[in-house]
Structure 1
Amino acid sequence: MTNRNLCFLLILLGLHLTCVFSWKKDEFRNCNQTPFCKRARARKPGSCSLVAHGVSISDGELTAKLISKIQENQEDESQIKPLILTLSVYQDGIMRLKIDEDPSLDPPKKRFEVPDVIVPEFPSKKIWLPRLSTETIGGDAGPSSFVYLSDGYVAVIRHDPFEVYVRDKAGKRVVSLNSHGLFDFEQLRQKKEGDDWEERFKGHTDTRPYGPQSISFDVTFYEADFVYGIPEHATSLALKPTRGPGVEESEPYRLFNLDVFEYIHDSPFGIYGSIPFMISHGNSRGTSGFFWLNAAEMQIDVLDYGWDAESGISLPSSQSRIDTFWMSEAGIVDAFFFVGPEPKDVIRQYTSVTGTPAMPQLFSIAYHQCRWNYRDEEDVENVDSKFDEHDIPYDVLWLDIEHTDGKKYFTWDRVLFPHPEEMQRKIAAKGRRMVTIVDPHIKRDESFPLHREATQKGYYVKDATGNDYDGWCWPGSSSYLDMLNPEIRSWWAEKFSLQNYVGSTPSLYIWNDMNEPSVFNGPEVTMPRDSLHYGGVEHRELHNTYGYYFHMATADGLVKRGNGKDRPFVLSRAVFAGTQRYGAVWTGDNSADWDHLRASIPMVLTLGLTGISFSGADVGGFFGNTEPDLLVRWYQVGAYYPFFRGHAHHDTKRREPWLFGERNTELIRDAIHVRYSLLPYFYTLFREANTSGVPVMRPLWMEFPFEEATFSNDEAFMVGNSLLVQGIYTEQAKHASIYLPGKESWYDLITGAAYKGGMTHKMEVSEESIPAFQRAGTIVPRKDRFRRSSTQMANDPYTLVIALNSSQAAEGEIYIDDGKSYEFQKGAYIHRQFVFSNGKLTSSNLASVPSSDTQYPLDAVVERIILLGHASDPKSALIESIKPEC
């Protein structure tokens, strides 16, 4: 949703703003209007004066003090005080670096460290450092200290000038921090008479009680061709330089969760999510990563080759690297270095810190139908029946804010929805579910019990004066729950019980929108930075995690509702590191145009690279009236998104799949059928993501890491390791140029025709489908009987599509469980590997042998085998069940 339709709210607030339906650049700050960003960008290489003193091992960690070489007047309270550095090592080659103010020097307050993002089991993977090695590296004036990571990788802390880096077994650098001497740490201090720390923007004043407290530093990735990550931006997969010779200087990549409706494409401007995790990849070395656990506003420059040459720091021509510059308004340095060296290694290392994606319910990876808003129960029933009438499967029907009583969440408009339980039961009888929206703003209405209770308990975020913060959102005057507080999250979770959420049933799931948080009358349409949270934490320090904690509490509520038996489904718009543990996300309020269809691919790919595998874009575009050609192409691409939902703004024309003529209905139906046939394959991939972190939808270079032609290709993508999909992003396209990587062949999903790998093919494009191919050497499980919903497909037979490689061999997997509960964690699942070799197909068990009381029963069998690329047709085949004992 967007907020610009509420012109009357803005008028009531005296803002005198006009309602528009395009992104207004001047509503949001740029770097020059953001003091910490402007100061940091003005710094010159080599300006850091810190040196490391007292480097030693304490409690299994490397510790040191960072002291400035600049001698300040000892009576000057603004002098640079020593900082405390700790460096720790964890299993699988992960290094953690923390830099904070020295608590013994009594800073005005403790700087914020982001809680509840690092998974509880990660600290137990810490490796106790036994000793420290110190030596002088050739050419240095002083010593450096070394600690072993793993597999030949070594962490190095250079004492003077201060620098931290990782080198590999060949002695080559992998990732470094402060190689260019740009590190800066603005320390908290007491306000003195005459200090003016206030910042102003668009009539809003930020009081800044502790003064400037930003941190900035450079990070260099060595032997890298491209860097990726740091969502969420509507831009290319490979991040473009923002500064440097030959580059027209642009804004840095901004990480600050904002309600930027109808965002523009090809822009570094931050939108709904912020994940400060960057991945580098190159042909010579491989992949590495860097993650800064910090929830304050962040700005990141990607610096072009030779960017600092004028300052006397040059790059040897024999070495390739990518320099980046990270700037944050507040927090501490809590940084993680990942050495890879393969793409999937870095993803595994990162998700060992922030968590692997939750295993979704099976229904949630099927097709969802949404609109702002389905008007009433009659409308819901009509839409549901029309899907059946037109033989189009779907699994979930959604209700937006208009279903509530006056925008009060957990309520129903009893005129429009007088029988919500009966409505949900009718839908559930067909194996379908419903979703309702629950946003974080609570209507300030004394007749609303939720508001009264939150007020009485003191559960709202406070303004700078200590009163409950009062902002403006959909209901009008609203307050926002302080989700940083675990007590409040637990209280919120209880609101989803069937007793508390009157009118809900077990088949109802939840949508968290506007949780950046969006505040219509706030600075940059969000909460003031000097608002106060649990423990005296300023909103500026935790802003990017507000929606994360709200998502966490909501998901916990659905788990509690089902007594811990069923997995939740909660969709969130706001995103932070760790979001993958709680549910799905989508890319927000996009537009019905070809550019937004095109931009959706790198956006979803980037989210997957940063742990969030369960994501997608609104099919058809949220804003605007989509033309049939665009809508059909969007369904054809969307069928391969991990999260597949059609959604539209209430001002758009209705766009259910049967409203565009018989031919277009047929094409959309076929696209949705593709998704349903591939549900066994998708579900298997979600299990892979759940165990390893590797995303469902992947850039080509993740599967082909040494093919340079894949490094910047974000028009095509992989679904798992077996399927390659090429979107069509132009109107009335007749041809497409498609690069098929690898040495083996690829088979067209529709015709079975073989195409040679390692080259670009110019192919004719028809309206029936977009180009999609199965990789030679793989086996893909399908279900080819179409039902009303995925639930009704449970015991349908399987088809195995075997695409043989040049050795006449192939392999693949299938994962099956009950699709809804946590029993799979006890061993109640089937995980089989299929191998075709020497003319025979065999199946073996990949799961640990389950106990007799947790075996998963299954009535389905492998009914059909499709063999692609076989030298001669087989004469016979033995088809068995796929139960664990076979």
Structure 2
Amino acid sequence: MSLTKLIYTFVMLVLLYACAPSAGENFPPENGITITLPSDDPYSPKQVRLEVITENIIRVTSSPLDTRPVNSSLMIIDQLPSPPAWEKTETADSVGLQTAKVQAWISKSTGEVTFKDASGKLILQEAKAGKAFGPPADDLEDDAVFSIQQRFKSPENEAFYGLGQQQTGLFNYKGYHVDLTQYNSVVAVPFMVSSRNYGILWDNYSITKFGDDREPMPLSELRLFDANGKEGFLTATYANDPNRPNEGLKEQEGHIAYTFLDDLNKIPKDFDMANGTATWQGSLQARESGVHRFHMTYSGYVKVWADGQLLVDRWRESWNPGPLVFELPLDTEKATAFKIEWIPESTQSFLSVKFLPPDRYRTTETYAFRSEAGKMLDYYFVAGQDMDELISGYRQLTGKAQIMPKWAMGFWQSRERYKTQEELLSTVAEYRKRHIPLDNIVQDWSYWPEDAWGSHDFDPARFPDPVGMIDQVHDQYHAHIMISVWPKFYEGIEHYKQFDEKGWLYKQNILNRQRDWIGEGYISTFYDAFNPGARELFWKQINEKLYQKGIDAWWLDATEPDVLSNASIQHRKTLMNPTALGTATEYFNGYPLVNAKGIYHGQRATNPDDRVFILTRSAFPGIQRYGAATWSGDISARFDELEQQIPAGLNFSLSGLPYWTTDIGGFFVEDKYDRPDPKGEALEEWRELNTRWYQYGTFTPLYRSHGQYPYREVFNIAPEGHPAYRSIVFYNKLRYRLMPYIYSLTGKVHHDDYTIMRPLIMDFDHDPRVGQIKDQFMFGPSILVNPVYHYEATNRDIYFPKETGWYDLLTGEYQAGGVEKNIEAPYDKIPLFVKAGSIIPFGPKIEYTDEKPADEITLYVYAGQNGYFELYEDQGSNYEYEQGQFSIIPLTYDENTKTLTIGAQEGEFEGMLTSRTFHVIYVQKDRPTGYKPDATTEKAIHYTGQSMALKLDEE
């Protein structure tokens, strides 16, 4: 080659490299179409682009700039599938592209995008002038960053799900304002699925509002009347004697806005928050008649009445306020009596009340995504035949969920906290002594010396031999140990200095000299997880201090990041500003994703044979690819809190994130439970609460008990003969018998993009009744779970989805579908029903997941319709399944011939069983047979991997 050609080639390569897209920018121009929209408005869209990702996924981007900005994505994987064939079509007023499954069209005049199926049927349409850009929040001085909004049209009967984990008790978000802001117990995941079988993944990292994106208004925007009927304000009374709540300081107030720490300065100085009661009384009158939605943030005790009817009666620990939404119809002609009672219980407690008036356009006819900051509008439209296909599309974009280590699907015991090495070891020993299955013991925070948060050192006074402790958990007790690791560092410790010298710490909290709540208080801050070098250093520190000692898994707490609890959102931004990628305003919600990323890649590089397992308090799209699960945060120990965890978990699952759990029993407790010990009625309520929560927790993807005192171990909740003890242990052992079923589901999560905890809308979407059911769900394909969440309840209403039959798991009694019935639910029983056509494998009696291989499996086969199940197995703790090292045994039931076929085993892995025994129990409508742990049967099959068939209706 000549020198000229060499120079030319070199220059072209340089130019190609310089213009190459960054991570997440894997879409060459030929994969889509772009139109330009001439406008002099600096905040109008100048260009709109459609890009083909797969046959059913289209990316939409838009910008008010003349040139398309480079927008590196954190949530989208680097290597997307090769785009399929597609065709461009143009008409006089629009240009479109079409794949084998979807069409997408852009209006040449407005830039509005419309999505249709392959036949031309409308799926989704952007609203008129739905794209909106504006100055970014916080007046960022960056001409390339904007606030961003996209509004879509929506039929009245459409329903919306997903969006992470909210704590409002809502399931269908149609018409509601949803605040996607990371917060302790609230997880912001900007992925929504629609009842019309499409999803929207919103690629933005800033604080985002969904649905009715208006900001809630102060009460003063209504017509207010005080206790005497005078218009203008409500009558506020701040009473220091709770027995005389109507006697105290009187104020005329139109705002109730004690939302954050700074707002507490507005509390009357003479009010004794720790012991007093505040009330607001008067009446409300609408400026526009209709249903008003009220948004509260509260801690302590709060009650709300309207026209004498109690609407709200809640409690939360003062230091962690939670959200609450309720509706109230208001009229322009008639005032509604209104009263709020607040018992703060603490000098740091919070209450705010705002509302949104009716607006048909924003609640019924359209919905929106609105974000505070971003370089461009960027979203992915995902179409599908059902919600499983939508979630599969989400994971094609953001990454496969790994298969969790098998032990993680067993029971975890935790408390806040094991204060000594002896406490932790004696707890595991007691489980083994009582033969109660257990796989994981969790060491919560503050195992380090008091003044050394972030050192990752064990306090030698309380944990004199951490290596010996961990070895004993492993070798003697055959269990695993997870440990709490925060991204937090006390000023001056060695690990702090290592970050500080690189400039990898958020320093504002240090400059503020802000002290935390430990002892007399210590000054601290968090590391910048958006910086790759900082992530590597964080892994290096926990690897040297903890992983090398034998720690099995990571509990990543406060990953919002919660640098200062209850600070205002604006102040929280200053405490993580700037990040390595840009301002905190732009990247506020993305911290948990990059924090988990560093640990996942760090551990896989250190020990490629050990499956990473992470439990993180917050999450973001893509975090499933980093071996991460999420729990529902620091929730309260109450029945009403248990109730609202059910829709919270279901929507989390519909966000594409398959692994979720709660603190069984709730984390923080009312005084009646812990000062000094619950007694009498409080003790029995405590035991029943934990019993019902354990029953529910058995059938969530991860099974984990945790919380403040009283201690959460079953033997500390109730004595052995108590019904609480018997029930908790029974369902624990049932979970372990179900391990072949459960672990098969984890394999399906990875290989088929499956979802374990399944709202009924996923499997019965043709049944119009299921779209609003938020307190029942399927655990895998077969088991209908119906939690009990009211104190002293002994029955509950259950809807049985139509087009199938149902069998009571414990009795085998049959129930036809398509009806709602009141079903008995005694103290010790959660109603569980099995779908007709199910094949459920139950394994042998074990006390930890790898105690013995499932060489004997009992197959319960439920007649009524055809059935299919794949028994999945792999090594259980390594990543060889990624290279195809796993096996599947297909199980098929034919209703017409009453034949069970155990198909030929497919695949192999090291240590795989080459033979086993299948016992078969056939459950029929007229021959009910309930689950029994050690049921015997004459139908037994010795299986060596070849296909075998068994007629089930023969005696």
Report if TM-score (shorter chain) is over 0.5: yes
Q: TM-score range by the shorter chain?
A: 0.7 to 0.9
2:912 to 842, 852, 857: 857
Partner residue in 2 for 1:46: none
For 1:255, the equivalent position in structure 2 comes to 180
SS in 2 for 1:514: coil
1:550 paired residue number: 595
Check whether the contact 2:695–2:731 (CA below 8 A) recurs between aligned residues.
yes
Rounded Cα–Cα distance in structure 2 between residues aligned with 1:665 and 1:219: 51
In structure 2, the CA distance between the partners of 1:581 and 1:474, relative to structure 1 (3 Å rule), is: farther
Cα distance in 2 between the residues matched to 1:803 and 1:233? 36
How far 1:794 moved relative to its partner? 3.1
Q: Tell me the residue number matched to 1:65.
A: 36
Say if 1:83 and 1:525 are closer, same or farther in 2 by CA, change over 3 A.
closer
- Distance, in Å, in 1 between the alignment partners of 2:714 and 2:168 is 29
Cα drift, residue 150 of structure 1: 2.5
In structure 2, relative to structure 1, the CA distance for the partners of 1:507 and 1:484 (3 Å cut) is closer
SS state of the match for residue 751, structure 1? coil
SS in 1 for 2:549: coil
- Given the alignment, which residue of 49, 56, 62 partners 1:93? 56
Among residues 208, 213, 220, which one is paired with 2:153 in the alignment?
A: 220
Q: d(CA) in 2 for partners of 1:298 and 1:684? A: 36
- Work out whether 1:635 is the aligned partner of 2:724: no
In the alignment, the residues of structure 2 paired with residue 764 and residue 676 of structure 1 have an alpha-carbon distance, to the nearest angstrom, of 25
CA separation in 2, counterparts of 1:218 and 1:685?
A: 37
Cα deviations across residues 505-530 of structure 1 (Å, max 9, x unaligned)? 33532100011110227534973258
- Partner in structure 2 of residue 118 of structure 1: 76
Note the aligned Cα RMSD (angstroms). Answer: 3.1
Q: What secondary structure is seen at the aligned counterpart in 1 of 2:431?
A: helix
2:188 aligned counterpart, secondary structure: coil
CA distance in 2, matches of 1:330, 1:413: 43
Equivalent of 1:673, from 711, 721, 733? 733
The answer on 1:391 being equivalent to 2:435 is: yes
Contact 1:678 1:783 in 2 (8 A): yes
Change in CA separation of 1:502 and 1:675 when aligned onto 2, cut-off 3 Å: closer
**Contact 1:816/1:830 (CA < 8 Å) preserved in 2?**
yes
CA offset at residue 542 of structure 1? 0.8
Map 1:141-152 → 2, pairs under 5 A:
143-151=93-101
- AA at the equivalent of 1:125: S
Provide closer, same or farther for how the CA distance between residues 438 and 468 of structure 1 changes in structure 2, counting only shifts above 3 A.
farther
**Residues 1:619 and 2:664 are matched in the alignment:** yes
| Counterpart position of 1:579 | 623
In structure 1, the partner of 2:604 is: 559
Counterparts of 1:328 and 1:692 in 2: how far apart (Å)? 32
Cα deviation 1:92-128 (Å, max 9, x = unaligned): 31000112343659xxxx78x4533212221x43346
Q: Do the aligned partners of 1:741 and 1:758 also contact (CA within 8 Å) in 2?
A: yes
- In 2, are the aligned partners of 1:747 and 1:773 still within 8 Å (CA)? yes
Equivalent residue number for residue 33 of structure 1 = none
Cα distance between partner residues in 2 of 1:646 and 1:296:
33
CA distance in 2, matches of 1:198, 1:637: 43
2:869 to 812, 815, 820: 812
Long gaps (5+) in structure 2:
1-27, 215-289, 292-358, 674-684, 930-935, 949-955
2:380 matched residue in structure 1: 336
Q: CA offsets per residue over residues 656-710 of structure 1, 9 Å max, x none?
A: 2012233121111012112111111111111111123221010111111100111
Once the two structures are TM-superposed, the CA of residue 289 in structure 1 deviates from its matched residue by 1.0
Change (3 A) 1:795 1:146: closer
**Structure 1 match to 2:646:** 601
> How do 1:163-312 and structure 2 match up within 5 A?
163-177=112-126, 179-186=127-134, 213-222=146-155, 225-236=158-169, 238-242=171-175, 252-259=177-184, 271-281=185-195, 286-302=196-212
Q: Does 1:770 align with 2:830?
A: yes
Per-residue CA deviation, residues 745-766 of structure 1 (Å, 9 max, x unaligned), is 2111111111111211222222
User: What residue is the counterpart of 2:942 in the other structure?
Assistant: 880
CA gap of 1:634–1:314, structure 2 versus 1, over 3 A, is: closer
What are the superposed Cα offsets for residues 45-67 of structure 1, whole Å, 9 maximum, x if unpaired? Answer: xxxxxxxxxxxx95332112233
Cα 1:235–1:638 shift into 2, 3 Å: same
1:85–1:100 contact (8 Å) kept in structure 2: yes
Structure 1: gaps of 5 or more residues: 1-56, 73-78, 137-142, 189-196, 200-206, 244-251, 260-270, 308-312
Q: Is 1:327 aligned to 2:374, yes or no?
A: no
Q: 1:751 maps to which residue?
A: 811
Aligned AA for 1:275? V
1:186 offset after TM fit, Å? Answer: 1.7
Provide the residue aligned with 2:251 in structure 1: none
Q: Percent identity over the alignment?
A: 23
For 2:443, the aligned partner's letter is L
3-state DSSP class of the match of 2:586? Answer: helix
* Kept in 1: contact 2:415–2:712 (CA 8 A): no
Other-structure match for 1:53: none
Q: Which amino acid aligns with 1:424?
A: I
Q: Is the 8 A contact 1:374 1:380 kept in 2?
A: yes
Query: Which of 883, 886, 907 in structure 2 is aligned with 1:826?
Result: 883
Contact 1:813–1:831 (8 Å) recurs in 2: yes
Query: Where is the strand percentage greater, Structure 1 or Structure 2?
Result: 2
Cα 1:605/1:710, change in 2 over 3 Å: same
> Helix, strand or coil: the match of 1:724?
strand
CA distance in 2, matches of 1:885, 1:747: 28
CA distance in 2, matches of 1:511, 1:727: 27
Which residue is equivalent to 2:402?
358
**Cα 1:148/1:529, change in 2 over 3 Å:** farther
CA contact (8 A) 2:169 2:643 kept: no
Contact 2:919-2:939 at 8 Å conserved across structures: no
User: How far is 1:842 from its partner?
Assistant: 1.8
Aligned with 2:800 (options 733, 737, 740): 740
Q: Equivalent residues in 2 for 1:497-512 (5 A)?
A: 497=543, 500-501=544-545, 504-512=548-556
Query: CA separation of 1:556/1:160 partners in 2, compared to 1, >3 Å: closer, same or farther?
Result: same
Partner of 1:44: none
Inter-CA distance 469–303: structure 2 relative to 1 (3 Å threshold)? closer
The reply to whether residue 459 of structure 1 matches residue 417 of structure 2 is no
Contact 1:697 1:718 in 2 (8 A): yes
Number of positions where the alignment pairs a residue of Structure 1 with one of Structure 2: 744
Match of 1:790?
849
**What amino acid maps onto 2:83 in structure 1?**
K
Deviations 1:176-216 (A, max 9, x none): 22x2324211257xxxxxxxx967xxxxxxx7676983111
Q: Is the 8 A contact 1:357 1:611 kept in 2?
A: no
* TM-score, length basis structure 1: 0.78
Are residues 738 and 101 of structure 1, via their aligned partners in 2, closer, same or farther at CA, if it must alter by over 3 Å?
Answer: same
Distance 1:883 1:536 in 2: 53
How far off is 1:134 after superposition?
Answer: 2.0
Match of 2:109 in 1: 160
Amino acid of the structure 2 residue aligned with 1:89: V
Q: Deviations over 1:70-110 (max 9, x none)?
A: x56xxxxxx447633221012231000112343659xxxx7
Residue 711 of structure 1: SS of its match in structure 2?
A: helix
Shift of the alpha carbon at 1:777?
0.6
Task: Report the alpha carbon displacement of residue 279 of structure 1 after superposing the two structures with TM.
Answer: 1.0
Q: Which residue of 1 aligns with 2:338?
A: none
Which amino acid is 1:144 matched to? S
Separation (CA, whole Å) in 1 of partners of 2:381 and 2:167: 26
